[in-house]
Chains A and B, each alone.
Chain A
Amino acid sequence: MDATRAGGDLSRRAADAVVAAGFAIAGFAVTIAPAVLMRSEVLNAGIGSLDDDVLAASAAVGAVEMVLAWRRVRNQERTATRRLHVWIASFNALVALALTASLLLLLVLYLFPDEHASLANRGFPVFALWAGVQAVAVVLAEATGWLFFSWLRPEAP
Chain B
Amino acid sequence: MNRREFLAAGVGLVGAAATAGTLGGAVWPALTREDLLPGEPPDVRLTPHAWQTAGDRLSFAVLGDNGSGGRQALAVAERMAFTYQTAPYGLVALLGDICYYGSLRRRFETVFRRPFGPLLDAGVGFELAIGNHDSGLHFSDDRLSAMEAELELLGTPGRYYTASHGPVDFFFLDSSIPGVYGPRASEQLDWLDDALASSANQWKVVAMHHPPYSSGQHGSTPGAQERLVPLLSRHRVDLVLSGHDHDYERVEPQQGVTYVVSGGGCKTTAVGRSRFTAVSERTLQFLHVEVVDAQLTAKCIRADGSVADRWTLRAREGT
Which residues of A are in contact with B by a Cβ distance under 8 Å?
33-34, 37-38, 40-42, 44-47, 50-51, 54, 82, 84-85, 88-89, 91-92, 95-96, 98-99, 102-103, 105-106, 109-110, 113-114, 116-117, 119-121, 126, 129-130, 148, 151-152, 156
Given A44-B268, A50-B71, A103-B27, A113:B5 Cβ within 8 A: no
Minimum C-beta distance from B296 to chain A (A): 25
Distance, CA A102 to CA B27, complexed state (A): 7
Determine whether the beta carbon of B101 is less than 8 Å from that of A152. Answer: no
Minimum C-beta distance from A94 to chain B (A): 8
Determine whether the beta carbon of A102 is less than 8 Å from that of B283. Answer: no
Determine whether the beta carbon of B304 is less than 8 Å from that of A120. Answer: no
Given A45-B282, A117-B110, A99:B23 Cβ within 8 A: yes
Minimum C-beta distance from A103 to chain B (A): 5
Q: Mark B256-297, 1 if CB is under 8 A from A, else 0.
A: 000000001000100000000000001110000000000000
Q: Mark B1-12, 1 if CB is under 8 A from A, else 0.
A: 100110011011
Determine whether the beta carbon of A91 is less than 8 Å from that of B12. Answer: yes
Determine whether the beta carbon of A151 is less than 8 Å from that of B8. Answer: yes
Distance, CA A41 to CA B31, complexed state (A): 10
Which B11-34 residues have a C-beta within 8 angstroms of A?
11-12, 15-16, 19, 22-23, 27-28, 30-34
Q: Which of B8, B37, B107, B303 has the most CB of A within 10 A?
A: B37
Which one of A91, A113, A126 lies within 8 Å of B69 (CB-CB)?
A113
Given A98-B19, A113-B38, A126-B39, A34:B8 Cβ within 8 A: no
Task: Say whether B36 faces chain A, with CB atoms less than 8 Å apart.
Answer: yes
Q: Which of A47, A151, A156 has the most CB of B within 10 A?
A: A47
Distance, CA A114 to CA B302, complexed state (A): 25
Distance, CA A47 to CA B77, complexed state (A): 13
Minimum C-beta distance from B248 to chain A (A): 11
Determine whether the beta carbon of B70 is less than 8 Å from that of A113. Answer: yes
Task: Say whether B243 faces chain A, with CB atoms less than 8 Å apart.
Answer: no
Give chain A residues whose Cβ lies under 8 Å from the Cβ of B69: 113-114, 117
Distance, CA A120 to CA B283, complexed state (A): 25
Distance, CA A45 to CA B39, complexed state (A): 16
Distance, CA A151 to CA B32, complexed state (A): 37
Task: Say whether B109 faces chain A, with CB atoms less than 8 Å apart.
Answer: yes
Given A34-B28, A92-B12, A50:B72 Cβ within 8 A: yes
Determine whether the beta carbon of A88 is less than 8 Å from that of B114. Answer: no
Q: List 23 A-B contacts (CB under 8 A).
A: A34-B31, A44-B268, A45-B284, A47-B72, A47-B284, A88-B12, A91-B9, A92-B8, A92-B12, A92-B15, A95-B15, A95-B16, A96-B15, A98-B19, A103-B23, A105-B31, A113-B102, A113-B110, A114-B109, A116-B38, A117-B109, A119-B38, A148-B8
Which one of B12, B28, B102, B282 lies within 8 Å of A44 (CB-CB)?
B282
Determine whether the beta carbon of B303 is less than 8 Å from that of A54. Answer: no
Determine whether the beta carbon of B37 is less than 8 Å from that of A109. Answer: yes
Distance, CA A148 to CA B10, complexed state (A): 12
Minimum C-beta distance from A86 to chain B (A): 11
Q: Which of A46, A54, A91 has the most CB of B within 10 A?
A: A46
Which one of A89, A99, A129 lies within 8 Å of B8 (CB-CB)?
A89
Give chain A residues whose Cβ lies under 8 Å from the Cβ of B70: 113
Distance, CA A4 to CA B149, complexed state (A): 83
Closest chain B residue, CB of each to CB of A87: B9
Determine whether the beta carbon of B38 is less than 8 Å from that of A99. Answer: no
Task: Say whether B90 faces chain A, with CB atoms less than 8 Å apart.
Answer: no
Which 3 A-B pairs have CB atoms at the shortest separation, nearest pair first?
A: A109-B36, A116-B38, A120-B38
Determine whether the beta carbon of A95 is less than 8 Å from that of B12. Answer: yes
Give chain A residues whose Cβ lies under 8 Å from the Cβ of B37: 38, 51, 54, 109, 116, 126, 130
Minimum C-beta distance from B172 to chain A (A): 27
